[in-house]
């Protein structure tokens, strides 16, 4: 995975430049005001111009990026950073300074909007959160490096603000070269445009393996989420000798074939009764999945996602192991050649289905689903491939412990429907670890005795596959024409937008921008500047030194977040870090009512400010962008990211504009009290509405959001039994 890590680091150079820019403009304004004698209006316009332009650019960036691709937009961002630096180096007057800030605003908007999206689409599910957290690390790192430069220059007799702001063109050159010659296009975007061979080459490079057929099929399936047609099923998978006892029930089996014409070696059987711990928790949800509140305040989607991650069973309170973090411990990944070599586009289906009645329950893929035999694979029948169609996926692993296999699609009356059904399968070995002798009841009513150790339970999302149907041509033609705004009205997309937009609004309600803008004033009022002035520093240099310390403290906190993002998860990190923000704000409010020694007051204030900013960066600062890049379908991901980013920029502008008035009306203590309320509301929203997405392929996340999202959907219609 080293290649994808390097690609992600290279992509985050735009975020580093954004952090660099925000620090240098804050510092450079001290010297710009002296040279041009600015009034308050011009000063505010110079600082906020990038926000204004960023808001406008964000409106169009998502739609354009869905049309032309992610990589061209990153290249454009690098060019804008380069041009803004050159213009600022020249800048003879305020008008040119404003022009440079306009160009800079375009660069920042593209970097902030598209980098998380790009990384989410190229990263494997198991480390996607870690790689996306690098964006925040790069941003804070850029701020830290910029403040070191600014502090060093402030020690000279005549600091040059043009050099402070213009030197950004040097790292922008490196960003441009990497974007042009190293960064690949997003494989998900390539598949959405029917450019299958290019997507295959990119995946081989990023994953470091030759067989990427499973993931390639997954990306194609992502073009058509199942929605309300998806059912949640439970399976037990065991050696065929144990399950093929009742031949009369054979029609219910998904038969898994071994190599070299060994015949059926493993069988996946849908079961009733005591099911898999995963699916029992998933299927036990009561009430309609179609309403946002379900039977209570917590969104059922949150509980549904949580059933894949929790350590304990709510029914018994008994302990259970974490769901398999490493898929290789249970799923084998072989080194077979990729079958996708006969078509450069999706105009021919990835696979086509022709089979007799005796073959209708076969699962198509080339790896033994549960890896009981290290070299076992499913036999691909040549009669299932014809014309320009190609073989079924040979590598069924799609990351995060999930497998993608296929079975034939049967109508309600037992008749054949066109194509196949896709089965997203996730194994659960924890249930069988509690008992060596477990009995299941199949959907045909037969007992299936399983001896622990050789069989596994699994939960599955089953829906109609787009592969092998005439819909594939239609889907790729529609995707090639660009996203449709009416797709935003689909129930699953609307639900995801509520989560994404809500997180962006509440991120600003927590007060980070007001905090960052006025942190120097807070520290100065507490006497921190006076303490530093004893070192012989000017007031400006002392302020820059404080910012160096603050941004430096952010880095280890973000490093911790990188480590925990795919272990503890996004939701857990936010639920644990927001209370720390509340405590820091309350300390700043409460201490105003006590007489405290000046040195102690300065120390408490400095610690509270540093802890607030550092903890915010590791939680609420980065996670909203990560989640927003994960929960939207490929076909409208760019548009949805634009809407959430537009929310971010709009809320940033509002906070920037009204903060001075709030400060005048309520005072600093009152404003921080409002931020406490904002943090409390944010915590409640995360707890009730934000699901845990760690370790799940993007297409599986989208499938979950789409399940029963239409109002009034009956769980029974989804195949969900209470």
- Tell me: do 464 and 520 sit in the same domain: no
Residues 461 and 502 both lie in one domain:
no
* Percent of the chain scoring above 90 in pLDDT: 31
User: Pick the residue with more confidence: 661 or 435?
Assistant: 661
What pLDDT does residue 70 have?
93
Enumerate the β-bridge partners of residue 441.
Answer: 272, 447
Domain presence at residue 358: no
Q: Which residues pair with 461 in a beta bridge?
A: 232, 424
Q: Give the model's pLDDT for residue 519.
A: 64
- Say what the pLDDT of residue 411 is: 45
- Relative to beta strand 231-239, strand 447-451 is unpaired
Average pLDDT over residues 673-689: 94
Average pLDDT of the segment spanning 374-401: 45
Cα–Cα distance for residue pair 711/690, rounded to 1 Å: 19
Residue at which a domain ends, from 149, 182, 215: 182
- Say if residue 120's pLDDT is above 90: yes
Identify which of 365, 405, 425, 418 has the alpha carbon closest to the alpha carbon of residue 232. Answer: 425
263-277, 288-302, 626-640, 645-659 — which one is most confidently predicted on average?
626-640
Contacts of 451 (CB under 8 A, 6+ apart): 242, 436, 437
- pLDDT tens track for 188-230: 999 988 888 999 999 999 998 888 888 888 888 888 877 667 7
* Domain identity same for 55 and 158: yes
Length of the chain: 722
pLDDT at 121: 93
Report the C-alpha gap between 610 and 528 in whole angstroms.
Answer: 13
Let me know whether 498 and 460 are in one domain: no
* Same domain for 232 and 92: no
Q: Which residue has the higher pLDDT, 610 or 239?
A: 610
pLDDT band of 181, cuts 50, 70, 90: very high
Q: Confidence class of residue 720 from pLDDT cuts 50, 70 and 90? A: very low
Q: State which H helix or E strand residue 561 sits in.
A: helix 539-564
Q: Residue 78: which domain range?
A: 1-182
**Does residue 463 sit in the same domain as residue 508?**
no
> Are 458 and 503 in the same domain?
no
pLDDT at 480: 53
265 vs 718, residue with greater confidence: 265
The per-residue pLDDT of the chain, averaged, comes to: 74
- Whether 256 shows a pLDDT value over 50: the answer reads yes
Whether residue 488 is found in the same domain as residue 460: no
Sign of the Cα torsion 298, 300, 304, 305 reads negative
Taking 50 as the threshold, does the pLDDT of residue 447 lie above it?
no
Q: Is residue 721 part of a domain?
A: no
pLDDT score of 14 more than 80: yes
pLDDT at 419: 61
Gyration radius from the chain CA atoms = 28
Distance, CA of 705 to CA of 696 (rounded, Å): 12
Confidence class for position 306, pLDDT limits 50, 70, 90: confident
SS3 state at 409: strand
- Written as one string, the DSSP assignment of 601-624 is HHHHHHHHHHHHHHHHHHTTTTHH
User: Residue 279: is its pLDDT beyond 50?
Assistant: no
In a domain, 39, yes or no: yes
Tokens of 354: 């022709």
Asked if 649 and 58 count as a contact pair (C-beta separation under 8 A), the reply is yes
Q: Is residue 700 part of a domain?
A: yes
With 60 as the cut, is the pLDDT of residue 261 above it? no
166 and 232 inside one domain: no
Q: Is there a domain that residue 362 lies in?
A: no
Sheet strands (E) in 99-249: 231-239
Mean pLDDT of 460-464: 83
Confidence grade of residue 277 (pLDDT, cut at 50, 70, 90): very low
158 has pLDDT over 60: yes
Residue 444, pLDDT above cutoff 90 = no
Output the CA–CA distances (angstroms, integers) from residue 403 to 219, 406, 408, in the order listed.
13, 10, 17
3-class state of residue 402 by DSSP: strand
Task: Count structural domains, the chain.
Answer: 3
Assess contact for 175 and 81: CB atoms under 8 A.
yes
- Which tens digit of pLDDT belongs to each residue from 50-88? 888 988 998 888 889 988 999 999 999 999 999 999 999
Is residue 307 a contact partner of residue 479, using CB atoms and an 8 Å limit? no
- Give a yes or no: residue 520 inside a domain: yes
Judged against a pLDDT cut of 90, whether residue 439 lies above it is answered with no
Asked if residue 280 belongs to a domain, the reply is no
Rounded Cα distance, 38 and 352, in Å: 69
Q: How far is CA 445 from CA 53, 269, 271, 441, 455, in A?
A: 64, 12, 9, 6, 19
Closest CA to 69 of 8, 114, 13: 114
Q: How far apart are CA 61 and CA 79, in angstroms?
A: 15
Exposure of 195 in the CB half-sphere (CA atoms within 13 A): 15
Q: Does residue 396 carry a pLDDT above 60?
A: yes
Report the helix count and the strand count for the chain, using DSSP H and E: 25, 9
Most confident option among 171-175, 233-237, 426-430? 171-175
Q: In this structure, are 260 and 141 located in the same domain?
A: no
Structure tokens at 385: 């491939």
Each residue's pLDDT tens digit, 504-563 = 999 988 888 777 766 666 666 666 666 666 666 776 777 788 788 888 999 999 999 999
pLDDT exceeds 70 at position 433: no
My answer on whether 133 and 263 are in the same domain is no
- pLDDT tens-place string over residues 606-645: 888 889 989 999 999 899 999 999 999 888 888 899 899 9
Measure the CA–CA gap between 111 and 396, rounded to whole angstroms.
34
The CATH code of the domain that includes 8 is 1.20.1250.20
d(CA 497, CA 518): 31
Q: Tell whether 582 is covered by a domain.
A: yes
Same-domain status, 458 and 552: no
């Amino acid at each position: 995975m080293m290649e994808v890590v390097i690609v992600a680091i290279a992509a985050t150079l735009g975020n580093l430049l954004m952090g660099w820019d925000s620090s240098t403009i804050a510092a450079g304004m001290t010297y710009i005001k002296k040279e041009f004698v600015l009034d308050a209006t011009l000063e505010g316009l110079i600082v906020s111009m990038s926000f204004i332009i960023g808001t406008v650019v964000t409106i169009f960036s998502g739609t354009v990026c869905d049309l032309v691709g992610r990589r061209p937009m990153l290249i454009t961002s690098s060019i804008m950073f380069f041009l803004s630096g050159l213009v600022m180096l020249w800048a003879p007057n305020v008008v040119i300074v404003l022009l440079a800030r306009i160009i800079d605003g375009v660069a920042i908007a593209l970097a902030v909007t598209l980098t998380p999206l790009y990384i989410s689409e190229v990263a494997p599910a198991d480390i996607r959160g870690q790689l996306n957290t690098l964006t925040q690390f790069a941003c804070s790192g850029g701020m830290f490096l910029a403040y070191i430069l600014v502090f060093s220059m402030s020690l000279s007799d005549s600091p040059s603000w043009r050099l402070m702001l213009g030197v950004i063109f040097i790292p922008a050159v490196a960003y441009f070269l990497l974007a042009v010659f190293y960064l690949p296009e997003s494989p998900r975007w390539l598949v959405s445009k029917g450019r299958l061979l290019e997507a295959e080459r990119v995946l081989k490079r990023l994953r470091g393996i030759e067989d990427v057929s499973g993931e390639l099929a997954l990306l194609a399936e992502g073009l058509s989420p199942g929605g309300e047609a998806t059912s949640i099923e439970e399976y037990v998978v065991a050696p065929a000798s144990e399950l093929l006892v009742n031949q009369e029930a054979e029609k219910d089996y998904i038969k898994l074939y071994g190599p070299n014409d060994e015949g059926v070696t493993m069988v996946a059987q849908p079961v009733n009764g005591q099911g898999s711990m995963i699916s029992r928790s998933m299927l036990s949800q009561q009430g309609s999945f179609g309403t946002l509140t379900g039977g209570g305040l917590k969104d059922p989607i949150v509980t549904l996602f949580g059933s894949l991650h929790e350590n304990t069973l709510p029914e018994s309170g008994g302990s259970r192991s974490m769901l398999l973090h490493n898929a290789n411990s249970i799923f084998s990944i072989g080194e077979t050649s990729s079958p996708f070599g006969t078509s450069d586009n999706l105009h021919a289906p990835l696979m086509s289905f022709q089979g007799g009645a005796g073959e209708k329950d076969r699962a198509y893929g080339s790896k033994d689903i549960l890896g009981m035999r290290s070299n076992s694979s499913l036999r691909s029948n040549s009669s299932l491939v014809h014309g320009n169609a190609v073989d079924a996926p040979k590598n069924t692993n799609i990351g995060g412990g999930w497998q993608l296999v296929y079975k034939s699609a049967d109508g309600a009356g037992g008749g054949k429907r066109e194509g196949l059904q896709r089965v997203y399968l996730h194994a659960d070995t924890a249930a069988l670890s509690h008992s060596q002798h477990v009995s299941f009841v199949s959907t045909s009513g037969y007992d299936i005795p399983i001896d622990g150790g050789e069989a596994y339970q699994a939960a599955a999302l089953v829906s109609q596959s787009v592969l092998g149907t005439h819909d594939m041509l239609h889907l790729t033609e529609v995707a090639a024409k660009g996203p449709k705004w009416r797709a935003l009205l689909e129930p699953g997309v609307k639900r995801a937008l509520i989560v994404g937009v809500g997180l962006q609004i509440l991120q600003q309600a927590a007060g980070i921008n007001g905090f960052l803008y006025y942190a120097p004033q807070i520290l100065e009022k507490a006497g921190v500047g006076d303490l530093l002035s004893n070192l012989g520093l000017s007031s400006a240099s002392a302020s820059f030194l404080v910012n160096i310390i603050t941004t430096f403290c952010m880095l280890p906190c973000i490093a911790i977040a990188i480590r925990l993002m795919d272990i503890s998860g996004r939701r857990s990190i936010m639920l644990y870090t927001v209370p720390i923000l509340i405590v820091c704000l309350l300390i700043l409010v409460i201490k105003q009512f006590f007489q405290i020694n000046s040195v102690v007051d300065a120390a408490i204030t400095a610690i509270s400010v540093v802890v607030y900013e550092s903890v915010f960066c590791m939680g609420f600062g980065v996670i909203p962008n990560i989640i927003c890049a994960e929960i939207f379908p490929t076909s409208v991901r760019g548009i949805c990211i634009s809407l959430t980013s537009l929310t971010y920029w709009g809320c940033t502008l509002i906070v920037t504009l009204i903060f001075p008035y709030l400060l005048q009306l309520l005072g600093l203590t009152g404003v921080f009290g409002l931020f406490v309320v904002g943090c409390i509301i944010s915590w409640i929203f995360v707890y009730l509405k934000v699901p845990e997405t760690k370790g799940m392929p993007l297409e599986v996340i989208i499938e979950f959001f789409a399940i029963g999202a239409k109002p009034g959907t009956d769980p029974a219609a989804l195949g969900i039994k209470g």
